[in-house]
């Protein structure tokens, strides 16, 4: 399923090219983005299959566990040097 999000720096940083964006609060931009998604649905569904694999690995609990473990290790290392 194609995803349309408000175009913010934070969302672009997190989701990159995995989703489509529209200017928040701009009905014309939202409508244009929806039309573009509908017109390019075939391309979007092919891309969604590619993206779903990336999302499953990047945003999985296992990946989050690795990132959180690294963060805690770093923080504990910083505390140990003080």
- Summarize pLDDT for 65-82 with one digit per residue, the tens: 988 988 999 899 875 444
Quote the CA–CA distance of 72 and 9 in Å, as a whole number. Answer: 26
pLDDT in tens, 29-43: 999 999 999 988 777
Q: 18 near 54, Cβ under 8 Å?
A: yes
Q: For residue 28, what are its two tokens?
A: 């014309």
The alpha helices in 1-82, defined as continuous H runs, are 9-15, 27-39, 41-58, 61-81
In this predicted structure, the answer to whether residue 9 has a pLDDT above a threshold of 90 is: yes
- How far is residue 68 from each of residues 13, 53, 56, 61, measured CA to CA in Å? 19, 21, 17, 10
Q: How large is the average pLDDT for residues 57-70? A: 86
pLDDT in tens, 19-31: 899 999 999 999 9
Q: How large is the average pLDDT for residues 37-58? A: 77
Whole-prediction pTM = 0.56
């Amino acid at each position: 399923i194609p995803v349309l999000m408000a175009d913010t720096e934070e969302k672009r940083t997190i989701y990159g090219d995995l989703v489509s964006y529209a200017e928040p609060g701009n009905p014309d931009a939202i409508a244009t983005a929806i039309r573009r998604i509908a017109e390019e649905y075939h391309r979007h569904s092919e891309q969604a299959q590619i993206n779903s694999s990336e999302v499953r690995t990047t945003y999985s609990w296992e990946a989050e566990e690795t990132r959180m473990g690294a963060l805690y290790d770093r923080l504990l290392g910083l505390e140990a040097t003080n």
